[in-house]
């Protein structure tokens, strides 16, 4: 192939991305509500691209349950069959039902390590048969992220990358390492994933209420970053999350930062 005449679309240009979101052969995105939608290109979480989800510092970086909950709720709003690749097999399928996801449409895959997870993700994305592919991996090279994003764009498949650090060794040092890595901001894949989120749990005060998260949009191509306290949407609600309105404390209230 003559690369000069057919340049590889390594990175979707914003107009192309907007075209994907607003029709013109693209799939609709996942609605996130008006407040968050204002920060996203096209007002929704776009499909057919790569998203990176990372946990907020704390114990969360090890078990990654909140990030998995967010990903499961995204999957539940995408039609088709999904694949979930992880090196650690602690995902509990009955727990997905509470997120509104039908485990019958989910295929699970176990990989040896992070590299195998990424390779399997790419294989699945290139196959074009899955509507969405979720992968749990600790670190991601710039090249691997590029390849994943390219595979997503080529085959119209949504990729969700869950950052997660292994545990089993002394917890203190691992957590410290993970926090450090998390605070560094993972600038490596900033340019590849279309959106990058950091999600942490926030106390809701009521165990029967939907879980409450601090949702940070660290990076959105064609959008602007933002930070909100949200509550997971109900199972049949159209929106993935709803912003909690009654935050009285101005220090804890979501702050919109215009960095774009």
Partner 1 sequence: MWLPNWPILRLHRSGAASADQPAATVLTERGQRRLACVCPLAAAAGLRVGQALAEARALVPELDVHEATPEEDAAALARLAEWATRFTPLAAADPPEGLWLDIAGCGHLYGGEAALCATIARRLGETGFLARLAVADASGAAWALARYVGGQTRVLLAGEERAALEALPIGLLRLDDRSVAALRRVGIRSIGALARLPRAEVAARFGPLPGLRLEQALGAAEEPIAWPMPTPPWEETQRFAEPIAAPEDLARTLALLAEALGRRLEGQALGARRFVARFLRVDGAVPMIGIATARPVREAGYVLKLLAAKLETVDPGFGVEAVALEAQALGPLAAAQAEMGGRADAGADLAATLDALIARLGEEAIWRPTALGSHVPERAVGRAPPLTSVGWPAQLPDRPLRLFTPPEPIEATAAVPDDPPLFFRWRGRLHRVRTAAGPERIAAEWWRRSPDASRPAHDFIRDYYRVEDQQGGRFWVFRVGLVGVPRWFVHGVFG
Of the two residues 130 and 228, which places its CB atom closer to partner 1 in the complex?
Answer: 130
Residues 186 and 219: their CA atoms lie apart, in Å, by 11
Residues 38 and 51: their CA atoms lie apart, in Å, by 17
Size of the site for partner 1 (CB under 8 A): 58
Which among 244, 190, 237, 239 is positioned nearest to 217, based on CA atoms?
190
Residue 116 engages partner 1 in binding (rule: CB under 8 A): yes
Residue 63 engages partner 1 in binding (rule: CB under 8 A): yes
Of the two residues 10 and 97, which places its CB atom closer to partner 1 in the complex?
Answer: 97
Which among 8, 27, 30 is positioned nearest to 17, based on CA atoms?
27
Residues 68 and 162: their CA atoms lie apart, in Å, by 7
CA angle, residues 158, 55, 186, in degrees to nearest 5 = 80
Write out the two tokens for 222.
């064609």
Q: Are 131 and 78 in contact, with CB atoms under 8 Å apart?
A: yes
Residue 204 engages partner 1 in binding (rule: CB under 8 A): yes
Contact positions with partner 1 (CB under 8 A) in 153-172: 167, 171-172
Residue 250 engages partner 1 in binding (rule: CB under 8 A): no
Stretch that binds partner 1, among 13-21, 36-44, 96-104, 190-198 (CB under 8 A): 96-104
Of the two residues 81 and 141, which places its CB atom closer to partner 1 in the complex?
Answer: 81
35, 119, 224, 244: which one binds partner 1 (CB under 8 A): 119
Residues 121 and 171: their CA atoms lie apart, in Å, by 28
Q: Which residues bind partner 1 (CB under 8 A)?
A: 58-60, 62-66, 68-70, 72, 81, 83, 90-99, 102-104, 106-111, 116, 119-120, 123-124, 127-130, 167, 171-172, 175, 200-208, 211-213
């Amino acid at each position: 192939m003559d690369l000069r005449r057919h340049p590889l679309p390594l990175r979707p240009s914003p107009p192309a991305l907007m075209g994907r979101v607003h029709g013109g052969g693209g799939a609709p995105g996942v609605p996130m509500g008006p407040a968050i939608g204002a920060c996203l290109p096209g007002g929704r979480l776009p499909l057919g691209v790569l998203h990176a989800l990372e946990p907020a510092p704390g114990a969360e970086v090890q078990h990654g349950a909140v990030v998995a909950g967010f990903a499961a709720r995204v999957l539940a709003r995408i039609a088709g069959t999904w694949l979930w690749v992880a090196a650690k097999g602690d995902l509990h399928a009955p727990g997905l039902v509470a997120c509104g996801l039908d485990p019958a449409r989910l295929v699970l895959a176990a990989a040896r390590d992070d590299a195998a997870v990424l390779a399997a993700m790419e294989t699945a994305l290139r196959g074009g048969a899955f509507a969405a592919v979720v992968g749990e991996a600790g670190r991601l090279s710039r090249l691997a992220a590029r390849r994943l994003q390219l595979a997503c764009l080529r085959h119209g498949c949504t990729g969700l990358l869950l950052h997660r650090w292994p545990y089993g060794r002394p917890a203190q040092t691992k957590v410290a390492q993970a926090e450090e890595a998390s605070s560094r901001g993972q600038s490596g894949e900033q340019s590849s994933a279309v959106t990058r989120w950091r999600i942490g749990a926030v106390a809701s005060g009521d165990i029967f209420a939907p879980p409450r998260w601090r949702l940070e949009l660290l990076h959105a191509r064609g959008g602007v970053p933002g930070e909100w306290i949200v509550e997971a949407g109900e199972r049949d609600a159209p929106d993935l999350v709803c912003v909690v309105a009654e935050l009285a404390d101005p220090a804890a209230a979501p702050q919109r930062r215009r960095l774009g």
